[in-house]
Amino acid sequence: MKKVIIGAIIPLAVCVVLLVTSCGGAAPGKVVKIGVVGPMTFIQGEHHWYGAQLAAEEINAAGGVMVGNEAYQIKLVKVDSNEIISVTDAANAIERTITVDKVDFIVGGFRTEAVTPMQEIAMDYGRIFLCCGSSTKELCDKVGDDYDRYKYWFRVTPINSTYLGKVDFMLLGMVAEELKAECGIEVPKVAILAEKLEWAEDIVAAAQVLLPVMYGMEVVGTWRPSDTATEVTAELTAIEAAGAHIIFTTFSGPVGIPYARQWGEMQIPAASVGINVEAQKEGFWDATGGYGEYETTMNTYAPGVKITDQTIDFGERFVEDVGEFPTYCAGTYEALYVLKDAIEAAGTLDSDAVIVELEKTDYTGTAGRIVFDENHDVVWGPGYVTGLGVQWQDGEMECVWPPADGSWEGVVYEGAVTYELPPWVIEAWAP
């Protein structure tokens, strides 16, 4: 009987305690409550949180947010969306933070399948949501399609999937130029290697059509492994047999690690360039056992690269606090500053007034100058946010695009270095 009582009482007691603690009172004083939404047990959510926390501490230390003549402190609410595992959890989390935590604004979001219902819920409640994780263009296109409903939605980071594709092709062009200079290859042969996911479809389709027509390259084939594949030697062997000079990658999943390791191990005589999200992370070098050297991918930040006056300082403080270099999800840092400026300009927390000011945003943050287009999407281009091309060189993530010689629209970031072809590629193709 005693066991039975314990069995029934313990879970009940845990629930009661949780119920009581979850119904905590409102925060004292004048506060702006901001919900930071992300998968908090994953690196993306952690960086959402730390980026926002860093900004909130700075803003609060500097006196807070001036709403009219009153100073408000920022109070962050950590919202674990668990979105990588459960979409239902993510949707529940955002509704809870709006209705129970009563947040005034939301920043974060990462996975499109979960961000979509989260966006709908935030719009239902007319809550401003600054997205800092999902690149899917359609999320912002909704603003243009139905402004009255979706006007509360803005994307701060990353640049959208169309712009990602543009940068991707520019990186490819840079590698092709290098092959021409070093090996005299006039018409490079390109192997398209993209994970079998929907977001990669447009990039693959565009590459198949545009590379021969616009870039004068030859496409030798397209390979589509799973995003969770742990073995890509079959694809790499076929690419080598096809005589490719360049492997144009599109990877967001964990396949990026075994791919880079096997590519380096097998010394496939083709330069690797494109998108490899795993290669954007600090742990990439160790994860590939150093075989990921010369892997080239798009990124938002790179250590020691000064995109704006704020970049280096932000990167150093982030590393000091968190112990690792920020990923693009740490763009919640900028999101908070953008929001602060808009609230101060509006002089109120009223969503409609803040939206008017957000639409006027012209803020130079850590990743570039943030301006929103008519769809509330962050603008990409010279003088705005550009993104970076990074290459792993001798264990370091180095910025190689925009090129250090300023050959792209005169844009040069301090700390950028020259792109290097892998020596085994030069050896294989040099005359």
Partner 1 sequence: MISIVNAYIGRVYKEFRDEILVLPSKTIVLLFCLILFLIPLMTSELYILRILILASIFAIFAASWDLLSGFTGQMNFGHALFFGVAGYTSALLNLYVGLPPWLTIPIGAVAAVLAGLVVGVPCLRLRGPYLALATLAFPLILTGIIYIFPDITGGELGVSGIDPLSGSRLIDYYIAISLMIGLGFIMWKITGSKTGIIFHAIREDEVAVRASGINTTKYKLLAFCLSGLFAGIAGGLYVHFMRIAGPTSTLALMVSFQAIIWAIFGGIATIYGPIAGVFILVPVTELLRVMPEIRMLLFAVIVLLVLLFMPEGITTWVRDKIEKECPRCKVRNIATRKICRICSADLD
| Contacts to partner 1 by CB under 8 A | 3-4, 6-8, 10-11, 14-15, 18-19, 21-22, 40-41, 78, 80, 85-89, 91-93, 95-96, 98-100, 111-114, 116-117, 120, 136, 196-199, 201, 227
Smallest distance, partner 1 to C-beta of residue 254, A:
14
| Identity of the residue, 7 or 395, whose beta carbon is nearer to partner 1 in the bound complex | 7
Lookup: tokens for 315: 């990167």
Contact at 8 Å (CB) between 404 and 415? no
Q: d(Cα 326, Cα 318) in Å, to the nearest integer?
A: 7
Smallest distance, partner 1 to C-beta of residue 415, A:
35
| Identity of the residue, 92 or 233, whose beta carbon is nearer to partner 1 in the bound complex | 92
Smallest distance, partner 1 to C-beta of residue 381, A:
26
Smallest distance, partner 1 to C-beta of residue 160, A:
14
Read off the amino acid at residue 1.
Answer: M
Contact at 8 Å (CB) between 52 and 107? yes
| Identity of the residue, 48 or 261, whose beta carbon is nearer to partner 1 in the bound complex | 48
Place of tokens 């590459």: 207
Query: Hey, which residues does 248 pair with through a beta bridge?
Result: 192, 273
DSSP 8-state assignment for residue 64:
-
Lookup: tokens for 210: 């545009």
Smallest distance, partner 1 to C-beta of residue 71, A:
29
Smallest distance, partner 1 to C-beta of residue 100, A:
6
Q: d(Cα 386, Cα 401) in Å, to the nearest integer?
A: 10
| Identity of the residue, 159 or 338, whose beta carbon is nearer to partner 1 in the bound complex | 159
Smallest distance, partner 1 to C-beta of residue 114, A:
8
Q: Which candidate, 303, 297, 300, places its Cα nearest to that of 279?
A: 297
Contact at 8 Å (CB) between 250 and 296? no
Smallest distance, partner 1 to C-beta of residue 24, A:
8
Three-state DSSP class for residue 37: strand
Q: d(Cα 258, Cα 234) in Å, to the nearest integer?
A: 12
Smallest distance, partner 1 to C-beta of residue 117, A:
5
Place of tokens 């980026």: 51
Helices and strands per DSSP (H, E), number in the chain: 15, 15
Lookup: tokens for 31: 């506060």
DSSP 8-state assignment for residue 104:
S
| Identity of the residue, 94 or 128, whose beta carbon is nearer to partner 1 in the bound complex | 94
Q: Which candidate, 92, 147, 137, 93, places its Cα nearest to that of 112?
A: 137
| Identity of the residue, 227 or 357, whose beta carbon is nearer to partner 1 in the bound complex | 227
| Identity of the residue, 198 or 405, whose beta carbon is nearer to partner 1 in the bound complex | 198
Q: d(Cα 335, Cα 49) in Å, to the nearest integer?
A: 12
| Identity of the residue, 1 or 213, whose beta carbon is nearer to partner 1 in the bound complex | 1
Query: Hey, which residues does 191 pair with through a beta bridge?
Result: 221, 247
Q: Is the peptide bond before 402 cis (omega within 30 degrees of 0)?
A: yes
Smallest distance, partner 1 to C-beta of residue 99, A:
4
| Identity of the residue, 82 or 262, whose beta carbon is nearer to partner 1 in the bound complex | 82
| Identity of the residue, 119 or 288, whose beta carbon is nearer to partner 1 in the bound complex | 119
Q: d(Cα 415, Cα 250) in Å, to the nearest integer?
A: 26
Angle at 295 between CA 290 and CA 300, to 5 degrees: 110
